[in-house]
Amino acid sequence: MYKGNTLKRWILAVAISAALAGCATETSTKLPAGVTLIENVQLTDSQVGIPYKKYQLANGLTVILHQDRSDPLVHVDVTYHVGSARELAGRSGFAHLFEHMMFQGSEHVADEQHFEVVTEAGGTLNGSTNTDRTNYFETVPNNQLEKMLWLESDRMGFLLPALTSEKFEVQRETVKNERAQRIDNQPYGRMSERFNQAMFPVGHPYSWPVIGWPEDLNRATVDDVKHFFQRWYGPNNATLTIGGDFDELQALAWVNKYFGEIPRGPEVQPEPKTLVTIDKTRYLSMEDNVHLPLIRIGFPTVYANHPDEAALDLLANILGGGKTSLVYKNLVKDGYAVQASVSQPCQELACQMSIYALANPQKGVTLAELEQRILASINEFEQRGVTDDDLQKVKVQFEADTIFGLQSVKGKVSNLALNQTLFGKPNKIASDLARYANVTKDDVMRVFKKYIKDKPMVVMSVVPQGMTALVAHPDNFIAQMLPVAQTAVEGELPNAKLVSSFDRSKMPATGAASVLKVPQIWTSKLANGIEVMGTQSIETPTVELVIYLNGGHRLVPVEKAGLASLTAEMLNESTQKRSSEQLSQALEVLGSTVDFSASEYQSTIKVSALTEHLDETLAILEEKLFEPAFNEADFARVKQQQLQQIQHMQSNPSYQASAALYSLLYGNNNALGVSDTGTLDSVAALTLADVQAFYAEQYRGANAKIITVANLPETALLPKLAGLSQWQGEASVLPPLKSFPALKGGIIYLIDKPGAAQSVINIAKRALPYDATGNYFKSYLMNYPLGGAFNSRINLNLRENKGYTYGARTNFSGTGEVGEFIASSDVRTDVTAKAVNEFINEIKAYQQQGMTDTELTFMRNSVSQGQALDYETPYQKAGFMRMIQRYQLSQDFTTEQDKIINTVTKDELNALAASELDISKMIILVVGDKAKIEADLATLGYPIETLVL
């Protein structure tokens, strides 16, 4: 019987801790003038939720404060209740374009200064836009809070004086590059925007893409953007949420100082919520540069927070929520589809039951047959009904997902901000839990009959170029477009200039340095000698456990590439006791995951569990690890899925570039030069006997080491791992690497990708293997101003100054054996040669002249202060411990790194740049439309060699 007590007990403990931490007793008489306390949620033993206080300024700005003293950081989020749904016909993409404009400086913050200030403070920042809201956020050491409020308030109140036509044009190009990279140049990238045109009525605010139609972006003017800001970016349409370790009264005083005098914007009314219906089934299709035909089916349902939403979510889970679902059984398990899934994504104004399946070409199945199998699965549900296990599974999963989502300050702040913005209620955890806990079998059957059974739907086919015969049904839908709106926004706009009561040009000083909280690590061994390294984290009642096995792809003969991944996937399947479906069901009702995977140097087992279900979860882990079934049916299906995955990835230009680059660097006769997923030839030749042999070689006790982050102390956790003490076997020995190919520096390697929307550029050389405190670490510091930070030379040049790309970067990466330097970017096709030239010039200049004193100071501040953010979440803590474990580092190796950061000289770093950044030793690889880019590339003076994958 589901009781939902885990979350309730845990959040109660958090609430008590927050109350004891102080700042819970101030009264309105202590608040700054104009600040009103709306809610003070500290929680009692009958409540669940996130403790917070909600205030409102006189200008309508909502302020939410949440205390979390576990780490010396703060997360600041400003969410505006404006997304693409607020746009007008023919004016799509404005909300997202404006997200970019908000980073381009304001009246008192110089161009690029926002990124520079946050990065130098050791923080991270970004923004995001969806249909319903736009948010801007920073995570910084807690001594930087006032500075963040200064930055956010200046762009809320003083953006327009700094908004120029030049900035607008660069960001318009950046958005076009983002669209090309994320949508136009990706397999199936344009599917959703086409699908939504059919799902929603003409003119519905969800009928156009968030990123915008290209023609709409082209017709936008700088005045349009200014008007969009004036209409939607007032404080009364915004929520400022601060979470972390800070003084509440001081924060409120700063908030009132920096935001309080910004005048209200135009009033904002909620968008009407009308259920979407369609009159008849709509079919549409699209040819794309893909390998696998795809069918997508959608039914319009309700909207976010509708009384039927929870029951519909449960229905989606039964239909296609994993290996226990009907769609998996009827399509994937039987080999008709490589992948298939059902979900019920919800937005503020509309939700849809979304079903997709990727056809398995080896089965010879058409999309029409897949459509019928999907519909048969829907009909089967009506006969099958809802079980008690179905209800329990979804309710436990919702509780577990909620808890795991609160492992970071950012997760909690995002939860509060979104719920306030869309529903006016920051604390919705309790009501959401109740919604799911109260769903009955009858509820699920009722929504099935109301929204799904025999209802019109949207059916979209995406097929490889020239294979229209594969579509499920001839098209009967043609998208219609409304006339272009005359203006970007409707209604009167404010135009009064705000004059501040204080000098905003003075950036606030930094507070006292944050006290770094490095995880307190314990180490031990199981009875069989397996090393265990752990730390206790009491923020959530969860256990994250990772078992690393030395070997992975590197242990595999190159002719059997892909075997490590295939073996890991087989361990995710049946055991000698239970089928894959039974194991999935057992994990789902616990809210746990046990996942096997493999990468270049290791095979990995990740276990996530609520603490109260750890014992049962570990029993499943041991069953999967020690008693795999390795049956022929599972093997045939999993092998076929891996082959189709390789085929699918080969249509992705980024994958093509990566595969070719590592082949050039390390050669096809080395595992490092071949993808760990394998090749079509290598995977096709693998047998079940190969899997069993690799399992015997890889999954040995002496290859394993364990990392754990749990809310249990060592004394309570270690006995629970006793079952792994039976694990035997000697350590495996990695085969020696063969000699690497001589790099042909000064050559451009070109891979033809006809019709590519962008070109992928990689410039690379072999470099230093990993070390924590030697030249490898120093190369990371050296590279930081060149291409390691957002406001690095290369990114500012190619993205912010020239608008060639959505992002450009350089980095050193390495393992204990090898390392490489890679400069990379996806750029507009028409500037491919220019972008390559800019990369070359920037790398040459940096190699010859090195960094400046200003860049050295910036790097030192950013890297050292950023450590306050390094250990917050369980997986960050696990990653930190894994570095110590894998490379046998001392637990205080970061102290030595701090010394290097603060004492390494500019001359030393510049000497490293001179030795490691010789462009004449680097290979240049470009994946793009050869017919459009080869002639321009030839003008650079490098010989061009065409590669065929």
φ, ψ for residue 41 (rounded to 5)?
-100, 100
Residues whose CB is less than 8 angstroms from the CB of residue 302 and which lie 6 or more positions away in sequence, other chains included: 275, 308, 309, 312, 346, 350, 351, 451
- pLDDT tens-place string over residues 523-551: 999 999 999 999 998 888 899 999 999 99
Could you tell me the fold of the domain covering 5-259? Cytochrome Bc1 Complex; Chain A, domain 1 (3.30.830)
pLDDT score for 194: 96
Mean predicted confidence (pLDDT) in 422-447: 92
Least confident residue range of 185-194, 398-407, 434-443:
398-407
pLDDT tens digits, one per residue of 495-504: 777 889 999 9
Is residue 899 pLDDT above 90, yes or no?
yes
Question: Architecture of 748-947 per CATH?
Answer: 2-Layer Sandwich (3.30)
* Pairing relationship of beta strands 352-359 and 294-300 according to DSSP bridges: antiparallel
Residue 398 is predicted with a pLDDT of 85
pLDDT band with cut points at 50, 70 and 90 for residue 761: very high
Cβ contact 71:409 at 8 Å: yes
Mean of pLDDT values over 907-923: 97
CATH topology of domain 282-404+427-470: Cytochrome Bc1 Complex; Chain A, domain 1 (3.30.830)
Query: How much is the pTM?
Result: 0.89
| Range with lowest mean pLDDT among 457-466, 616-625, 642-651, 813-822 | 642-651
Measure the CA–CA gap between 626 and 606, rounded to whole angstroms.
Answer: 16
Name the CATH code of domain 521-726 (choices 3.40.350.10, 3.30.830.10, 2.60.40.10, 3.40.640.10). Answer: 3.30.830.10
Record the tokens describing residue 662, joined without a space: 């590592």
How are beta strands 704-710 and 531-536 bridged, if at all? parallel
Q: pLDDT band for position 393 (50/70/90)?
A: confident
Say what the pLDDT of residue 879 is. 87
Q: Where are the domains of the chain?
A: 5-259, 282-404+427-470, 521-726, 748-947
Looking at residue 18, its pLDDT comes to 39
The residue with greater pLDDT, 822 or 104, is 822
Beta pairing partners, 124: 139
Has residue 659 got a pLDDT over 50? Answer: yes
Q: DSSP string of 350-403?
A: -BEEEEEEEE-GGGT--HHHHHHHHHHHHHHHHHH---HHHHHHHHHHHHHHHH
- State mean pLDDT over 226-248: 95
In this predicted structure, what is the pLDDT of residue 48? 67
Give SS3 for 866. Answer: helix
The pLDDT mean for the chain works out to: 92
Domain 282-404+427-470 identical in fold to domain 521-726: yes
pLDDT of 376 above 90: yes
Long-range contacts for 322-329 (Cβ within 8 Å, ≥24 apart)?
322/584, 322/588, 323/580, 323/581, 323/583, 323/584, 324/393, 324/581, 324/584, 324/585, 324/588, 326/377, 326/378, 326/380, 326/381, 326/384, 327/355, 327/357, 327/374, 327/377, 328/581, 329/377, 329/581
Q: What is the pLDDT of residue 46?
A: 59
